[in-house]
Structure formats: C-alpha cells, structure tokens
Amino acid sequence: MFNLTPVTARTGLLEQVISAVEHKQQVSRLWRLRVSVSVGIASVIALVPVVTSLVNAFAASNFGTYLGLVFSDTSVVLSSWRVIGASLLESLPAVALTGTLALVGVFLWSLRTVSLNNNFIV
C-alpha cells in the first residue's frame, strides 16, 4: 500500500547540526559574558557612593552608641533586651544597608556568571 523509500541523511549533516548548536551556544555564552561583565563593572562603580552613604549613615545614627551599651552595661541591657533591640533596629540605616548588600550580591553574581561563561579563567 505504501511505497516508502528510506530517507538517508546527506553526508556531513550530523557535523553541521552539532556545529550549529555549538555556534549558538558560543553566541549565547558570549552574550551572557558581556552582560555579566557590564553589570559587574557597573555594580563596582555604584558601590563607591553607596558604601560612602552607608558609612555616613552609620556615623549619623546612634547605632554605634547603642551597640556600645551592650558591652558596657550588659546586665542591664540583657534585662531589657526588647528595648535595646528596638533601639538598634530603629537606628539601623536600613536603606543604605539594603543598597550595599544588593550591590555586593549583584557583583558576586556577575563574577560567578563570568566564571561560568568563559574559557579563559583557569
């Protein structure tokens, strides 16, 4: 009923397919490498003002003063641990700290991505 002739692949097809897949992987790897390097450089540049802001924010807050009470008046502080905990939390420069942590995380992520996508680092 059906007269099917067997299909045979032309010579070199397998090598061509593998070569095309490898080429696409290479392009994708290079693109990820460029993005991660750019993001890494941008995060390092952005870290400078953010860390400066964090240091200034800590200096302007009373966080260090309250933290010193933990060591100078340990017994009193431990008996009113909720008060000292609230004081420390309220005086923490949360925005600057969040920004700094986020940029450090982005920088580490970019380093990891660069490492995963290049063949130059041994």
Partner 1 sequence: MNTKHFFQSHALAVVLSIIVVLVLVMGAFAVGERVGFHKASFDPNNGNHMMTDAHGSAGKVIAITLPTITIEDKDNTEKTVVVSDQTVIRKFRNTLTSQDIAVGDYIVAIGEPNTQSQIAATLIRILPPMPQ
User: Considering the complex, what minimum distance in angstroms separates the CB of residue 24 from partner 1?
Assistant: 22
x-or-dash pattern for partner 1, window 24-53, by CB under 8 A?
A: ------------------------------
How many angstroms separate the CA atoms of 29 and 41, rounded? Answer: 18
Q: Which residues contact 88 (CB under 8 A, 6 or more apart)?
A: 63, 66, 67
Q: Which residues contact 87 (CB under 8 A, 6 or more apart)?
A: 62, 66
Contact between residue 58 and residue 64 where contact means Cβ atoms under 8 Å apart: yes
Window contacting partner 1 (CB under 8 A); options: 3-11, 17-25, 27-35, 93-101: 93-101
Q: Which residues contact partner 1 (rule: CB under 8 A)?
A: 60-62, 65-66, 68-69, 72-73, 76-77, 80, 83-84, 86-87, 89-91, 94-95, 97-98, 101-102, 104-105, 108-109, 111-112, 114-116, 121-122
